[in-house]
């Protein structure tokens, strides 16, 4: 009898292990027009250099609404409200910032891009002009850079909502890591470094799915993209005076590579934890840390960025 009981328990144990190990989750949303969700987004940044520490915390509420759905995917409307910032900086733009925009996702929920970037840029420029009326400093510092800043804010809008849709379109299996290759913004919104993200399905409890995402960039990963970025920037300075360019691209690359090897030694690590509602594929929460440590252009780098997103 005891042998039979042990055999049954062993079989159940094996079946349970097989069920867990074979568990698969596909992150494909099943939204309908009119579905809404709100998220509290908090961004904490700390950097230390030369014995001086700078801290900054920014928070915002992101409201999302599904405004259309067809055979090509979804269009969502996003509005950013209730901006708050604490720290050494006081950004007038954030205090008055209240803008909405539409963006598109494919049928699996992957982010495609803004539905109408021209309209969004026009709205941002109008906001800049409104702020400049009351803020002389803003007018002096920001207005000459309006075109450049508009592009930066534009990419920032999509970056913020991209976290919410990070897992959409993926199929993850327990005990198996999926690698995806894409672009990672580093140093400026112009400069992208190819990055491999590793996604692991950690647990499934009822409708709640937990996933870990991680990536590591070392100096050898960063340098080729940074050299290319440096060459492009140098050439762009003389785009209206090509006769001023006396060095070939190869000479510029060689010079930058030599200089960067002596003044750069960076390591970037990212770790994010996602919790999804498996019944509807809305993100429940996300928390993660981005760290950059080492040496950049001869200066010590110790940057830590923490991001938290919670469904309201």
Q: Are residues 134 and 159 in the same domain?
A: yes
Q: What mean pLDDT comes out for the span 5-28?
A: 53
Most confident listed range (3-7, 141-145, 156-160, 199-203): 199-203
Q: Give pLDDT, residue 266.
A: 85
The domain of 309 spans 169-312
Rg of the chain, C-alpha, whole Å: 24
Residue at a domain's end among 165, 183, 213: 165
Q: Give pLDDT, residue 187.
A: 53
Domain-located, residue 23: no
Q: Are residues 235 and 199 in the same domain?
A: yes
Higher pLDDT residue, 192 or 265? 265
Q: Give pLDDT, residue 110.
A: 93
Q: What mean pLDDT comes out for the span 8-26?
A: 49
Q: Give pLDDT, residue 61.
A: 93
N residues, the chain: 312
Show the tokens assigned to 100.
């909405």
Q: Are residues 179 and 154 in the same domain?
A: no
Q: Are residues 72 and 182 in the same domain?
A: no
Q: What mean pLDDT comes out for the span 23-40?
A: 94
Q: What is the pLDDT of residues 263-310, one digit of tens each?
A: 778 899 999 999 998 888 899 999 999 999 988 777 788 999 999 999
Domain-located, residue 198: yes
Higher pLDDT residue, 262 or 17? 262
Q: Are residues 232 and 107 in the same domain?
A: no
Domain-located, residue 15: no
Domain-located, residue 17: no
With left for phi above 0 and alpha for psi between -120 and 50, is residue 132 left, alpha or beta? Answer: alpha
Supply φ then ψ for residue 27, to 5 degrees.
Answer: -95, 80
- Residue 16 clears pLDDT 80, i.e. is over it: no
Q: What mean pLDDT comes out for the span 142-162?
A: 69
Q: Are residues 211 and 76 in the same domain?
A: no
Higher pLDDT residue, 107 or 129? 107
- Residue 236 clears pLDDT 80, i.e. is over it: no
- Residue 31 clears pLDDT 80, i.e. is over it: yes
Domain-located, residue 267: yes
Q: Are residues 248 and 302 in the same domain?
A: yes
Give the range among 18-22, 163-167, 198-202, 228-232 with minimum mean pLDDT: 18-22
Give the range among 45-49, 109-113, 223-227 with minimum mean pLDDT: 223-227
- Residue 197 clears pLDDT 80, i.e. is over it: yes
Q: What is the 3-state secondary structure (H, E, C) of 66-90?
A: EEEEECCEEEEEEEEEEEEEEECCC
Residue at a domain's end among 165, 181, 197: 165
User: Which run of H or of E encompasses 230?
Assistant: helix 219-237
What mean pLDDT value characterizes the chain?
79
Sign of CA dihedral 166, 183, 145, 125: negative
Q: Are residues 159 and 176 in the same domain?
A: no
- Residue 247 clears pLDDT 90, i.e. is over it: no
Domain-located, residue 36: yes
* pLDDT > 70 in the chain, percent: 73
Q: Are residues 312 and 199 in the same domain?
A: yes
Q: What mean pLDDT comes out for the span 181-207?
A: 78
Give the range among 95-104, 150-159, 173-182 with minimum mean pLDDT: 150-159
Domain-located, residue 19: no
Q: Give pLDDT, residue 165.
A: 93
Domain-located, residue 18: no
Q: Give pLDDT, residue 269.
A: 94
Q: Are residues 144 and 228 in the same domain?
A: no
Q: Are residues 53 and 174 in the same domain?
A: no
DSSP E strands in the chain: the ranges are 24-26, 36-49, 52-70, 73-87, 100-105, 111-114, 171-173, 177-186, 188-205, 208-218, 265-277, 282-296, 299-311
Residue at a domain's end among 141, 165, 189: 165
- Residue 93 clears pLDDT 60, i.e. is over it: no
Q: Are residues 176 and 98 in the same domain?
A: no
Structurally, the chain folds into a number of domains equal to 2
- Residue 212 clears pLDDT 90, i.e. is over it: yes
Q: Give pLDDT, residue 13.
A: 37
């Amino acid at each position: 009898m005891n042998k039979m009981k042990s055999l049954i328990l062993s079989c159940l144990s094996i079946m349970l292990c097989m069920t867990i190990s074979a568990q698969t989750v596909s992150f494909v949303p099943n939204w309908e027009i009119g579905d809404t969700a709100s998220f509290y987004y908090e961004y904490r940044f700390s950097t230390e250099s030369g014995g001086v520490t700078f801290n900054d915390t920014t928070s915002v509420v992101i409201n999302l609404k599904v405004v259309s759905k067809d055979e090509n995917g979804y269009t969502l409307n996003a509005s950013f409200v209730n901006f708050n910032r604490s720290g050494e900086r006081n950004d007038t733009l954030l205090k008055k910032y209240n803008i909405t925009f539409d963006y598109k996702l494919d049928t699996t929920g992957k982010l495609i891009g803004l539905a109408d970037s021209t309209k969004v840029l026009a709205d941002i420029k109008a906001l800049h002009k409104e702020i400049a009326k009351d803020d002389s400093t803003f007018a002096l510092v920001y207005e000459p850079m309006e075109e450049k800043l508009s592009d930066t804010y534009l990419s920032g809008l999509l970056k913020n909502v991209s976290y919410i849709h990070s897992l959409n379109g993926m199929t993850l299996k327990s005990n198996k890591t999926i690698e995806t290759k894409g672009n990672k913004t580093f140093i400026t919104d112009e400069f992208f470094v190819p990055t491999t993200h590793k996604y692991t399905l950690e647990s499934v409890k009822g409708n709640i799915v937990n996933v870990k995402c991680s990536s590591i960039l070392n100096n050898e990963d960063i340098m080729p993209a940074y050299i290319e970025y440096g060459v492009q920037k140098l050439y762009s300075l003389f785009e209206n005076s090509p006769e001023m360019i006396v060095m070939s691209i190869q000479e510029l690359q060689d010079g930058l590579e030599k200089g960067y090897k002596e003044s750069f030694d960076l390591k970037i690590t990212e770790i994010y934890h996602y919790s999804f509602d498996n019944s509807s594929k809305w993100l429940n929460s996300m928390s993660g840390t981005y760290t950059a440590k080492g040496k950049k252009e001869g200066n010590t780098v110790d940057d830590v960025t923490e991001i938290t997103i919670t469904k309201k």
